[in-house]
Amino acid sequence: MTTIVSEKLKAEVRNLSFYYTEVQALKKVNLPIAENRITALIGPSGCGKTTYLRCFNRMHDLYPGNRYEGEILLYPDRLNIVDPKVDPIEVRMRISMVFQKPNPFPKTVYENVAYGLRVRGENRKGLLDEKVEKALRQAALWDEVHGRIYDLAFNLSGGQQQRLCIARALATEPEILLFDEPTSALDPTATLKIEELIMRLKKDVTIIIVTHNMQQAARVSDYTAFMYLGEIIEFDKTDKVFTHPSKKLTEDYITGRFG
Amino acid sequence: MPHDEKITQEIRRRIAHNKFRDHLFWIIGLFSTLIGFVVLFTLIIDLFVDGFPRLSWSFLTSYPSRFPEKAGILSAWVGTTLVMIVTAAAAVPLGIAAGVYLEEYSKKNWLTHLIEINMNNLAGIPSIIYGLLALGLFVYFLKLGESILTGGLTLGLLILPMVVIATRESIRAIPNSIREASYALGATKWQTIKDHILPYSISGILTGMIIGLSRAIGETAPIITVGALTFIAFLPSSPVTSTFPFFSFKWLFDPFTVMPIQMFNWISRPQKEFHVNAAAAGIILLLMTLVMNGFAIYLRYKFRKRIKW
């Protein structure tokens, strides 16, 4: 699988298994993550793609009874993200996440973006102002909200709220940005904006995106992994997966025969 | 199917029958609602008719006396206010901390389940039982005396479960996606609690606190049990002093009385004039409760405006 990616790797999943108490949700999966590229995880509901994504920032540690086996190596320092000895907080500080439904805090736009920095103990006004503006510009939101960054985030539209969440995730300059079906709660126009944004962001950050929408994966990603029942059935360059899938199951899924 | 006049007639009859029941329930419901309303209204009117003429500035600034027309409620309302301060100071931090712990830290197992069941039952225990517990614990064992401190702590115990339950309920109303957003940015549990959980649940917590205090303000039995006096013609020592450090906690250990005890004392006397005093004191007690509830509504409105899930 690694041979498919000839580029520099940002992370590499090796024989990762994941258990919700008794139930095994991921079965010895492998995946290379190329640096400054977009890797998409696709597959039918319940195939484990969101579970997979949430391993990358140890979200599963928030709930009791969850267990990882195997490793996710983060390059260049080869930190095994899922090692129980590695502090999940350290992992989350290096790897940010954008969720399925926009989930801004009931605070101002400014405080939403600044929160990750405040968590890191940053309180210098000038520096915060600068980084908040930078993140909002990166998330293509600055032009729309610069006059009301002290308004409540709930007053923004759904698409704006999701871009705010992207800005919030970007403000801390993460090494990897995880997207969990970021447009599933948005209308087509807002979706298009987010997609354009994701494509532009890859020059700054490595991206992994889970999506239910195959066209979205085809449009934005460089690599695509097709998952089914907790396993990766096929992984390849996105063009290859969508034009010449090597597995029958993949072909059936992308042509809409199930899922 | 073709139109059948007989079936149409039957349908109309059926509808009329159903509607009759509909109206019947409407009347029963209205009647039940009115009973509650009329009783409350009569109670308040009766209290005002009896007590209102007696209300005056001197009623608020006089000590009790054996002459009904000279008697006032100064020591009672000061006592009530001070006891409430101690009650809030004891129950609120403890209740919030316990509620946050149970919701955010504790593992969900049989022990926390047991604590939860206990907590809910604790809220329903007759207040006199709290009085007995407090007499043994605060008066005899800790030797805090028959003081404001004892009274406040007793009522604090009484409303503690309410504060815990209110805290837990308002914390539970916060969507999990907000917690995940905070943790995903690298926040610790404590950072998440202090920056998100507490600020977003504070209106519910404050409402619970004030509902608890509104109950505590009218409690008589546990306060009598721990030995509050029924006739007291002096004020506790002042919390503010003229010498350094300009405040004092001596008042905590002074004897006291509270409004409901003063009322009980007056109403149990044979003279009609004292009954008037009791009604007048009742109006003041009612007002104190109303002010607290009004404050709760204001706080809820003020904090809720910003948050919609």
Q: Which pLDDT tens digit goes with each residue over A45-90?
A: 889 999 999 999 999 999 988 999 999 999 999 999 999 999 999 9
Q: What is the pLDDT of residue A41?
A: 95
Decide if A27 is inside a domain: yes
Position B116 pLDDT exceeds 70: yes
Position B243 pLDDT exceeds 90: no
> Closest Cα partner for A85 from A97, A101, A68?
A68
Q: What is the pLDDT of residue B293?
A: 87
Q: What is the pLDDT of residue A53?
A: 96
Q: Is A68 helix (H, G, I), strand (E, B) or coil?
A: strand
Q: What is the pTM of this model?
A: 0.84
Decide if A11 is inside a domain: yes
Inter-chain CB proximity A115 and B185 less than 8 Å? yes
Position A238 pLDDT exceeds 70: yes
Q: Is A44 helix (H, G, I), strand (E, B) or coil?
A: coil
How far apart (Å, rounded) are the C-alpha atoms in residues A43 and A47?
A: 6
Q: What is the pLDDT of residue B309?
A: 62
First to last CA, chain A: 24
pLDDT tens, position by position, B25-63: 999 999 999 998 999 899 889 888 888 888 888 888 888
The beta strands (E) that lie in A138-213 are given as: 176-180, 206-210
Position A9 pLDDT exceeds 70: yes
Position B119 pLDDT exceeds 80: yes
Q: What is the pLDDT of residue A116?
A: 95
- Which fold is adopted by the domain B57-304? MetI-like fold (1.10.3720)
Position B229 pLDDT exceeds 90: no
- What residues of A are in contact with residue B182 (Cβ under 8 Å)? 105, 115
Among A93, A105, A116, whose Cβ lies nearest the Cβ of B178?
Answer: A105
Find the CATH number of the domain harbouring A191: 3.40.50.300
Q: Is A84 helix (H, G, I), strand (E, B) or coil?
A: coil
Among B107, B181, B308, whose Cβ lies nearest the Cβ of A64?
Answer: B107
A191 min Cα distance to partner chain B (Å): 20
Q: What percent of chain A has pLDDT over 70?
A: 98
With an 8 Å Cβ cutoff, is A9 touching chain B? no
Question: DSSP character for A200?
Answer: H
pLDDT tens, position by position, A190-235: 999 999 999 999 999 999 999 988 999 999 999 999 999 999 999 9
What mean pLDDT is reported for chain A?
A: 93
Q: Which of A122-136, B7-21, B247-261 is the least confident region?
A: B247-261
Q: Which helix (H) or strand (E) holds A25?
A: strand A23-34
Q: Which of A33-42, A205-214, B264-273 is the least confident region?
A: B264-273
Position B262 pLDDT exceeds 80: yes
pLDDT band at B108 (very low <50, low <70, confident <90, very high): confident
CB B30 within 8 A of CB B259: no
Range of the domain at A203: 2-103+174-254
Q: How far is CA B77 from its chain centroid?
A: 16
Decide if A194 is inside a domain: yes
Inter-chain CB proximity A165 and B181 less than 8 Å? yes
Domain count, chain A: 1
With an 8 Å Cβ cutoff, is A228 touching chain B? no
Written as six digits, the tokens of B274 are 């004292």
Question: DSSP character for A247?
Answer: S
C-alpha atoms less than 13 angstroms from C-alpha of A37 in its C-beta half-sphere: 20
B95 min Cα distance to partner chain A (Å): 24
Q: What percent of chain A has pLDDT over 90?
A: 86
> Vertex A235, ends A199 and A95: CA angle to 5°?
50
Position B246 pLDDT exceeds 80: no
- What residues of B are in contact with residue A106 (Cβ under 8 Å)? 200, 306-308
Position B137 pLDDT exceeds 80: yes
pLDDT band at B305 (very low <50, low <70, confident <90, very high): low
pLDDT band at A144 (very low <50, low <70, confident <90, very high): very high
The b/e string for B171-194 (b: 16+ C-beta within 10 A; e otherwise) is beebeeebbbbbbbbbbebebbbe
CB B99 within 8 A of CB B164: yes
Inter-chain CB proximity B185 and A59 less than 8 Å? no
> Closest Cα partner for B128 from B24, B222, B254?
B222
Q: What is the pLDDT of residue A108?
A: 94
B259 to each of A100, B46, B194, B216, B281, how far by Cα in Å?
Answer: 56, 19, 37, 11, 7
Q: What percent of chain B has pLDDT over 70?
A: 97
Position A102 pLDDT exceeds 80: yes
Decide if A99 is inside a domain: yes
pLDDT tens, position by position, B204-219: 898 888 889 998 998 8
Decide if A165 is inside a domain: no
Written as six digits, the tokens of B119 are 């907590």
Q: What is the pLDDT of residue A1?
A: 62
Residues of B with CB under 8 A from a CB of A: 107-108, 175, 177-188, 191, 195-196, 200, 306-308
Q: What is the pLDDT of residue B306?
A: 64
Decide if A159 is inside a domain: no
Amino acid at B258: V
Substitution target in B180, B185, B200 with the highest count of A β-carbons within 10 Å is: B185
- What residues of B are in contact with residue A89 (Cβ under 8 Å)? 186-188
Q: Which of B158-167, B194-203, B244-253 is the least confident region?
A: B244-253
What mean pLDDT is reported for chain B?
A: 87
How far apart (Å, rounded) are the C-alpha atoms in residues A205 and A230?
A: 27
Q: What is the pLDDT of residue B308?
A: 63
Inter-chain CB proximity B182 and A115 less than 8 Å? yes
What's the average model confidence in pLDDT over A115-144? 94
Q: What are the beta bridge partners of residue A39?
A: A208, A223
- What residues of B are in contact with residue A116 (Cβ under 8 Å)? 185-186
